[in-house]
Amino acid sequence: MYIQKVLSNGIRVAAERIPYVQSVSLGVWVANGSRCEKKNENGISHFIEHMLFKGTEKRTAEQIALEMDSVGGQLNAFTTRECTCFYAKTLGDYAETAVDILSDMIFCSELSEKTMETERAVVLEEIAMYEDSPEDVVYDLFTETVWGDTPMGRTILGTPESLSNVTPESMREYIRTHYTSKSIVIAVAGSFGDELFELLEKYFGSRSIEHNEVTFENAEYRSGTAVMKRDFEQVQLVAGFRGIDIYD
């Protein structure tokens, strides 16, 4: 059975009961990705994804991991050009643990300067590894060619220069203005009862958050050809073309 609800602060919930499973999966989807970033903050969405796992006002990073492990749960996240998703999977009996931790991470992360400097180095290493991966490099070259010097044409990870601009204060402000009631959707699937919606209201709906729409710069599709010569063992090729409008 498919259920849609809106929490008291405007966050939307989409849920589907699957009666023959014992687990439940929850995803907090934020309509914010690298396409929502300004050039001088490119990579902040992905950087935030990293930082929200690094401790909150009441949990250390280790406690977040151990608490999910203690109930046999899984916790992860990813960032794309168009969205960021934080998700958890656990047995239905421990759904409150997953909801509590996800809410705590998103709304109460500490974002300390010391932790940020450590994690900035991790992201810079990730960028270096990415640039040594030809299948990743060629796709970024493709998007840069198609979308040009727009947020859609830039990398998800950002650059060393743009990441150096990110501070705890700028990250908090970005979360405040981009993690809003109009940009967050909670998706749930699996084994759960009506009490789950009470938990979502308790841990998410009670939060005081902004209600503005997240805006971004539209990018015009451009045709073209780009070649990058690198000392790789293989040749990577990407070909693309304009598709059907999603609203057609």
- Per-domain boundaries in the chain: 2-205
The torsion angles phi and psi of 80, rounded to 5 degrees, stand at -120, -175
169 part of the active site: no
Looking at residue 188, what is its pLDDT? Answer: 98
Residue 217 pLDDT > 90: no
pLDDT at 10 (0 to 100): 96
Q: Which residues contact 119 (CB under 8 A, 6 or more apart)?
A: 47, 50, 51, 54
Q: Which CATH architecture has domain 2-205?
A: 2-Layer Sandwich (3.30)
Amino acid identity of 58?
A: K
Catalytic residue among 49, 67, 110, 144: 49
pTM of the model: 0.94
Rounded to an integer, the average pLDDT of 42-49 is: 98
- Other Cβ atoms within 10 Å of 27 Cβ, number: 18
Distance CA 207, CA 107 (A): 8
Q: Give all strands (DSSP E) within 64-221, no chain letters.
A: 74-79, 84-91, 184-190
At residue 226, does pLDDT exceed 90? yes
Mean pLDDT of the chain: 95
Please check the confidence at residue 215 and state whether its pLDDT lies above 90.
Answer: no
pLDDT, mean of residues 69-82: 97
Residue 70 has pLDDT above 90, yes or no: yes
C-alpha 208/C-alpha 196 separation (Å) is 20
Give the pLDDT of residue 181: 95
